[in-house]
Structure 1
């Protein structure tokens, strides 16, 4: 992990719902986070917490630090200073692989599915313990595994495409398949990057419905630019700008914030 001696910057006051020992109160909690790349400060967050089974939306202009935030949570990027807590444990120096094993799943903006495999085969590979080639040669799906796969595919309207190679799916269907694959691993936290990008209005509405359904079973962080999609999610919104938390609250509240209008919504 990279560590640097830095002068503690002047920060905005902590939101009042971040209490002492908050790493035990939230599923995900970031404290005094600084991330720098060659002298450029990409993140500068005093305190940020996500409750268990909460759906939180993060918005902000390009370069605001949204992806970097997901990168430090998933272990892809080291912090320069600060601590990252997940489910009560300090995971600041934990590897990306081990963080995934602890229950952090991530869906990137471009769906990553296996085009040559069918929808069902993709789902099989997503089952716990199936990510390595050798175990897959010997693993047999159980009745419970099959029931879970079929139930999930029905939930995302992909049951009719069960034996269809993934290459023939629409962009929206590929998004739903990848989210479904993540769910197979039973993650505690889902990091979802721009799930509405490139979707039709109908696909956008269905994706919002899916995330809202999953909210009671998983903690979900959504990075998004589509404001109509954000409204459909009807969840707490955090606005980032230049690596800092600019605003936090309901969509109605942040839309009326003069700083947010100037930095992002007014563009």
Structure 2
């Protein structure tokens, strides 16, 4: 891993086509026990999120009414479970995320899926995603991004005026094909969506991500598959490994240039 990685979110999500009854709160005791055995013993029933935006005050984001959030003992990792999806993600407390590589992350996802498999049995998965979000300072982004993902050159905040100008967003889809990644304009059944652009200081990118004090260039890569499969730890692990690999391939071969590793390493 890079010593000064700009990653601010890594998230894997398993989405179901219809509500899974056994993941509803009335079966909470069984879900709680499963999550405890998977290494997530801390439960939070109120899934609303409060975000401190500084001068903008506190913003409250409501969660799914039937969601439950589970944390590891050190609260560095979290799982959100409700009847329509299960998400595993690193928790950002404002000092970056504790992502130690896709192998360790997928190992934790495997443990979650294996424990839940015993609770829900055979259910259909409609979509699975593996999402990486990087937030780079504007000068860094201009140096490490390939031209097609820079957009129009963003302007830094003018300290004399207190203004910042946001650039046009870049929004692209890559299909996962036998030859590698194929750029297209329409969402493929299996591939990745890449969204890039500047956000002004204190902007809310996602309720799980604390806002930054300065303008940033965001690179959001959502590698996903809408090829349905039956839920099992083995199937989830295989799909997550493929998606993580595809997302990294997009990032290093299409989004950033050779300066990226040296810029963010000591």
Q: State the TM bucket, normalised to the shorter chain.
A: under 0.3
From the two aligned structures, give the one with the greater strand fraction.
2
Question: What is the TM-score with the length of structure 1 in the denominator?
Answer: 0.24
More helix by share: 1
